[in-house]
Structure 1
């Protein structure tokens, strides 16, 4: 599917695409998780903009299925003695002595390739994430996916998630994350937290270590530039490359039986050749809302943009990093009447459902 308004998503100047312009305007913000810290799966689904549905690029340029199957934990077949666990949202009833035994919700299906997630209370400076809350989240998430991604490592979130997976015995792997900004101490702190978590829990449930989220987009926007191949974008790629290499060095020095791949995440139009050459995988954030698509075109636009921009670009470098869609979705409401539509479709729960129906399943 093609449309003149996004034929050239990497254009600049007078020919910049609406998608690119809106990426710069709308995403210049503090990077909290799109999903946010969720206490209940219903909240996660309602906020759906940040669902981390993945499309894995194979070396030949093909992509994986949009759905996944697999068993979650929770082996108990009877619910006698299952209770809402104190300190949680009370959404899941479980055996208070064994988190692997919990009630399954028959309405939930394992149909998402992956999901973006940040625990409640896992953003500085207000760390307050608890094991009980994270464990309940994992019990819920394991019923709809076998993969999740984290954006950062502060507030001990990597260890909390891996502990929850261990306790619940669910089939779940994690792309752990290091959120990168211009403060090198923040990178070092998070890298060391991930190292500590790996030392304790190993890497059996770690799918990758993601260094940065939209760092190139943020750097380009802050410099007043419009393209990832300009000075700011290339400098940002160099900074990220140094940190990617440092993370690899850290992992290789741990004598691991399974060494996770190292990648980065950015807005779909902001991967440039130097960063692609440096990573094992890329997580692309691709939001059809910012491209001013209709809701009927949104799913097709997302797939086409990813294949024609991210997969194609990754195939031009010798290492051919695997590419995934890490964020996509549709907003359910706006903060103002002026922003209630992207010019082609409304922000609404009904339109989110259309996107879920046409893209995911």
Structure 2
């Protein structure tokens, strides 16, 4: 993946007939963008530019999870280089249980805002800001502290004379009606795989869970949007039976290419028709997540439509929705 990218190669990458722009959003973590590892092996602009070329054939909106390792600036540079005028970026501000990390992320965020205003005179390339991902699920911060981070960023943006939709993302069942009033967008990670749902029922389960647990929270407030921040299916690594035990009569969620294809077939085109907003998790495998695999549960690094070399996985079929695009 390293080395100079020539125009012909980029053109080839951007014309893959097996990719279809049917995803309203795509979750993205660039290679080598984990701190402090990136101080020794930093992310490559060439790799990120290639990734954005690939994702531009899948979506018009990309979500980042954090600001470390200069990833946001490199994604914006790729958008410029590839002339992706329709592409919008959701900036991610990672929050955890380490205040030094949180301060660094927020400081980087303001640098990104200031640099964008200096270069472009507007924030038009940003679709919004996601402050924290699964902070409550990990119990890294209290709800009160998380919401203070959100409201501080929102107020500081307003004080500077700018507005961007502000969100946080967490598990769908971690949201409360009160939390929902503190953001512009309720972003819920809804994974049927982790609920142990068999794939034939996964699309319906995802819709029902999201609408009853999350969409219902803001039914009386149309100013607050609802987005599924993560939904997808791993291509390998075992079975997940949720809170139950897998057995010959209960296979639960089976990780595999066949199952991924079935879930995409059931979810993607119907979601386009009913205008469901979501981010697909994800475009590419993330090898750094191997550290989170457990025996018999080796799927953490296998959620990509494409492998780590950015090749569409063998057998994966992205629906073309009859030629319709987002």
| TM-score between the two structures when normalised by the length of structure 1 | 0.65
CA distance in 2, matches of 1:172, 1:244: 25
Match of 2:105 in 1: 190
CA distance in 2, matches of 1:109, 1:252: 37
- 1:282 shift after superposition: 1.8
Match of 1:156 in 2: 70
Match of 1:75 in 2: none
CA distance in 1, matches of 2:184, 2:229: 15
Does residue 251 (structure 1) correspond to residue 171 (structure 2)? The answer is no
Q: Which runs of 4+ in 1 moved over 3 A?
A: 99-103, 253-256, 335-343
Match of 2:22 in 1: 111
- 1:252 shift after superposition: 2.3
Q: Any unmatched runs of 5+ in structure 2?
A: 118-122, 270-326
Relative to 1, partners in 2 of residues 1:248 and 1:101: Cα closer, same or farther, differing over 3 Å?
farther
SS in 1 for 2:129: strand
CA contact (8 A) 2:48 2:78 kept: yes
Does residue 139 (structure 1) correspond to residue 53 (structure 2)? The answer is yes
RMSD: 2.7
Match of 1:262 in 2: 166
Match of 1:129 in 2: 43
- 1:100 shift after superposition: 8.4
Spell out, residue by residue over 1:1-46, the C-alpha distance to the aligned partner (whole angstroms, 9 max, x if none): xxxxxxxxxxxxxxxxxxxxxxxxxxxxxxxxxxxxxx7xxxxxxx
CA contact (8 A) 1:162 1:201 kept: no
Match of 1:168 in 2: 82
- 1:255 shift after superposition: 3.4
CA distance in 2, matches of 1:355, 1:315: 27
Q: Any unmatched runs of 5+ in structure 1?
A: 1-38, 40-84, 223-234
CA contact (8 A) 1:340 1:346 kept: no
SS in 2 for 1:201: helix
SS in 2 for 1:211: strand
CA distance in 2, matches of 1:137, 1:188: 28
